[in-house]
Amino acid sequence: MADWFTHHLGWMYWTWQSALFFGAIMASIAVLTVLDLRQPSVPRKGWLPIPTTRGDRLFLAIMSAIGLHLLWLGLAGAAWVAGASVLSAFLAVAIFWKG
């Protein structure tokens, strides 16, 4: 199995951070799927200008995190990128809680 990954995904530089990131996205999609099957999401209006469901808020949180990281890299370079991750986590909590 490891040979298959090396052969087919060897072109990509995988680190534990990238594996954690993609694993977290897959886990959050799985959790949202289970939640939606148990209790369907109802659109609600928070401080975001549109009514959103849980899936919408997840998408907006991921896109906001990507934008924040790119902005961070553009302004501060690679210096302490973990700061962008901390800000992204707070932003995701705000989007899910009040968005």
Residue 60 scores a pLDDT above 90: yes
Q: What percent of the chain has pLDDT over 90?
A: 55
46: closest CA among 94, 87, 89? 94
What pTM was estimated for this model as a whole? 0.77
Task: Identify the residue with better confidence: 10 or 39.
Answer: 39
* Percent residues over pLDDT 70 in the chain: 94
The total number of structural domains in the chain stands at: 1
Q: C-alpha 71: how far from its chain's center?
A: 16
Which pLDDT score is estimated for 87?
Answer: 95
Check residue 32 and give its pLDDT: 92
Both tokens assigned to 37: 């099957």
Mean of the per-residue pLDDT values of the chain? 88
Range of the domain at 55: 2-98
Tell me which amino acid residue 39 is: Q
Sign of the dihedral through C-alpha 72, 76, 81, 85: negative
> How does residue 1 score in pLDDT terms, banded at 50, 70 and 90?
low
